[in-house]
Amino acid sequence: MKTQVLTAGLVLAACGLAANHTRAVLQPGTLAEPWMTGGPNCLTIPDWQVHEYNEDFYILRESGCINAEKPFLYLMFGENKALLEDTGVASAADKSVIPTAPVIMDLMAKWAARKKHAPVSLIVIHSHSHGDHTAADGQFNQTPGVQFVAATPAEIQKAAGIATWPTGLGQIDLGNRIVDVIPIPGHDVASIALYDRVTGNLMTGDSLYPGRLYVPEAQIPTYAASAQRMVDFVRLHPVAHVLGTHIEEGSQPYFDYPQGTTYQPKEHVLELSRAHVFELAEAFRKMGGKPIRMVYPDFAVVPRVANAPRPAIMQAGDGMGLQPGELPTGWKTGGPNCVTIPSWQVKEYNEDFYILRESGCINPEKPFLFLMFGDKKALLEDTGVATLMPDGSRGAVIPTAPVIMDLMAKWAARKKHAPVSLVVIHSHSHSDHTAGDEQLKALPNVEFIDSKPEAIQKAVGISKWPTDTGHIDLGGRIVDVIPIPGHDVASIALYDRLTGNLLTGDSLYPGLLSINSKDLAAYAVSAQRLADFVGEHPVAHVLGTHVEQNKLPYVDYGRGTIYQADEAPLELTRAHIFELNDAFISLHGEYKSVATPDFTLVTRESGETAYPPELRPKPKAN
């Protein structure tokens, strides 16, 4: 079989603007999006895709036209050695093994020439022992200059210097690049994770990836212990990305492509986050040692019961009955040319759910608002922020009500629906979310809920604040109201039962989550309450009210930044709820900042939540 190779070299993202805070020193890189899968025309699909994460770290994918498993391989370079994880899968048609070694050797030669570096030797290791990751072993295990580590616990233990399997850790030194080897049996007796200290990438094999995580019933306790061991590891190490060896999940939460699918036109991205390590451990805690299938937005744990018949078509999730939508992308921030930035951006998640963003040219807070429609009422969360003045005060409030009323009228016309009334509620009481209140209070057919605990409690029927949950009935659409004081005394989360979207305000978003010392305990309890809630409800996306995070893990723009050229997406995941909860648990009541890849808990006393004076607009000349 002729081997085709596609190599994509992408420019590294720059580490930052002057306002950026870099909270972990990791070598950055870029991830491919999207990957080719296996069609629809296999004549156009190369046997191997090779993507450059950065000049010393490469990701390979074998074509789904060869085998529907379409596994990923990882190759990283140090000063003295290179490390390859896995060797690929055989052809599903004739069981032949396509050339893997020539692709790797060619890549190593090109790396040496590009870097003007002497050739390095190769170590081959495996994520685990299954045949879809070891098929080309015979091309490597007798090759000169290759240290081949067989996929058995004994061989891995010996090669990586692991004192005790599976509780110990091993290391592989590539020369100025240490790769930690973490035994994580459960999916397979020889399953491992690799942690690259240079990039912070954690490679988790078939033990954690966007898809179906299979576990034999007898190995559930072993897998659970491994999941907890990974949690313990990531608590102590910065993790940029979690990279598995397959993609079976679709871009729609709770949906995976059936086993054997070759062409996956809307597949999930390869990378998971550090947060998903906590979510995996939570899955096994809920299983309690029993063979219960756990279907989550980005992966599913699928037990295999001994001697039980396997379904003809394996699919773990079909969307959980949630109303789908498309998360908007391409949000403008606040420049570089404010003449071209609209005061409001309005984007459609689906025809009954809208997301608005106020311009950073008006105020660097650039908050998000959410508007959803039921048969009888619409619900608006937050009303916007006023203009930032040169002295740091708030000035004029731009029109919010006309934008909302116009959107409601267009919705009614498009749906051929009678006009509906409006309910206004707030994520919390801070002024960057309440500036347009007076405009909306003045309108007819508006139920305005003041941003105070007692007002919220009365309006949504919360029996006891903050431990109980309230509800708003929009007509064919129930929105749950969850008190989560901590960031503010009146902080709430809204859960839309139709879409599964969880709106978390300033309590969880990609950026700086500020805490006062007196509110630390309340915030921690609220994080646990959120974790308990999402443990019982399907959550498609977690949507906060700001973005301050850069696309690079552990990098944020800092408060007051107007133009954020490479900002992170708005959405977080259900998994981030568990990461938030763990962050508070890790504090043990101590008042200090905690950085994760996608958000940072910051103390207000640190000064990081105040606008630097140089970022305020300059006074206009008379």
What does the pLDDT look like over 532-561, one tens digit per residue? Answer: 999 999 999 999 999 999 999 999 998 889
Distances (CA, A) of 430 to 82, 343, 525, 560: 52, 20, 21, 16
Distances (CA, A) of 462 to 423, 424, 430, 468, 492: 17, 17, 22, 6, 12
Mean pLDDT over residues 123-134, rounded? 98
Mean pLDDT over residues 505-513, rounded? 97
The topology under which CATH files domain 39-206+238-271 is Metallo-beta-lactamase; Chain A (3.60.15)
pLDDT of amino acid 516: 92
pLDDT of amino acid 7: 39
Long-range pairs, 169-173, Cβ under 8 A, ≥24: 169/233, 172/81, 172/83, 172/123, 172/125, 173/78, 173/80, 173/81
Contacts of 158 (CB under 8 A, 6+ apart): none
pLDDT of amino acid 604: 83
- Residue 607 pLDDT grade (very low, low, confident, very high; cuts 50, 70, 90): low
Which of the 8 DSSP states describes residue 225?
H
Q: Do domains 39-206+238-271 and 338-615 have the same CATH topology?
A: yes
Chain-wide mean pLDDT for the chain?
Answer: 93
Evaluate if residue 393 carries a pLDDT over 90. Answer: no
Most confident of the ranges 91-95, 152-156, 397-401: 152-156
Tell me the C-alpha distance between 563 and 553, whole Å: 18
- Give CA torsion, residues 123, 223, 597, 550, to 10 deg: 80
H or E segment to which residue 526 belongs: helix 520-534
**18-37, pLDDT tens digit by residue?**
346 777 789 999 998 899 99
Question: E-assigned strands of 450-508?
Answer: 470-473, 478-483, 492-496, 501-505
Domain boundaries, the chain: 39-206+238-271, 338-615
User: Structure tokens of 587?
Assistant: 């504090």
Evaluate if residue 1 carries a pLDDT over 50. Answer: no
Q: Do 191 and 231 touch, CB atoms closer than 8 A? A: no
**511-537, pLDDT tens digit by residue?**
999 999 999 999 999 999 999 999 999
**565-582, pLDDT tens digit by residue?**
999 999 999 999 999 999
Q: Do 483 and 570 touch, CB atoms closer than 8 A? A: no
Evaluate if residue 163 carries a pLDDT over 50. Answer: yes
Tell me the C-alpha distance between 237 and 499, whole Å: 34
**453-465, pLDDT tens digit by residue?**
999 999 999 999 9
Tell me the C-alpha distance between 167 and 163, whole Å: 9
Query: Is 338-615 CATH 3.30.540.10?
Result: no
pLDDT of amino acid 103: 97
- Give CA torsion, residues 439, 442, 443, 447, to 10 deg: 100
Tell me the C-alpha distance between 202 and 191, whole Å: 14
- Residue 403 pLDDT grade (very low, low, confident, very high; cuts 50, 70, 90): very high
Tell me the C-alpha distance between 250 and 275, whole Å: 19
Q: Which residue has the tokens 């994918």?
A: 61
Tell me the C-alpha distance between 183 and 151, whole Å: 12
Evaluate if residue 112 carries a pLDDT over 80. Answer: yes
Phi, psi of 289 (to 5 degrees): 80, 0
pLDDT of amino acid 610: 57
Angle between helices 220-234 and 274-287 (to 10 degrees): 150
User: Structure tokens of 551?
Assistant: 């696309």
Out of 419-423, 472-476, 512-516, which region has the weakest mean confidence (pLDDT)? 512-516
Evaluate if residue 367 carries a pLDDT over 50. Answer: yes
Evaluate if residue 619 carries a pLDDT over 70. Answer: no
Evaluate if residue 4 carries a pLDDT over 50. Answer: no
User: Structure tokens of 140?
Assistant: 């490597």
Evaluate if residue 92 carries a pLDDT over 60. Answer: yes
Evaluate if residue 170 carries a pLDDT over 80. Answer: yes
Tell me the C-alpha distance between 457 and 251, whole Å: 36
From the number of C-beta atoms within 10 Å of its C-beta (0-12, 13-18, 19+), residue 163 rates as exposed
**175-189, pLDDT tens digit by residue?**
999 999 999 999 999
Q: How many helices (H) and strands (E) does the chain have?
A: 9, 33
pLDDT of amino acid 612: 52
pLDDT of amino acid 616: 43
pLDDT of amino acid 459: 98
By DSSP bridging, strand 377-381 and strand 421-425 are: parallel
- Residue 2 pLDDT grade (very low, low, confident, very high; cuts 50, 70, 90): very low
**331-340, pLDDT tens digit by residue?**
999 989 999 9
pLDDT of amino acid 20: 66
Closest CA to 66 of 35, 37, 102: 37
pLDDT of amino acid 310: 84
Tell me the C-alpha distance between 301 and 222, whole Å: 14
Evaluate if residue 473 carries a pLDDT over 70. Answer: yes
| Residue 5 vs residue 38, higher pLDDT | 38
Evaluate if residue 73 carries a pLDDT over 70. Answer: yes
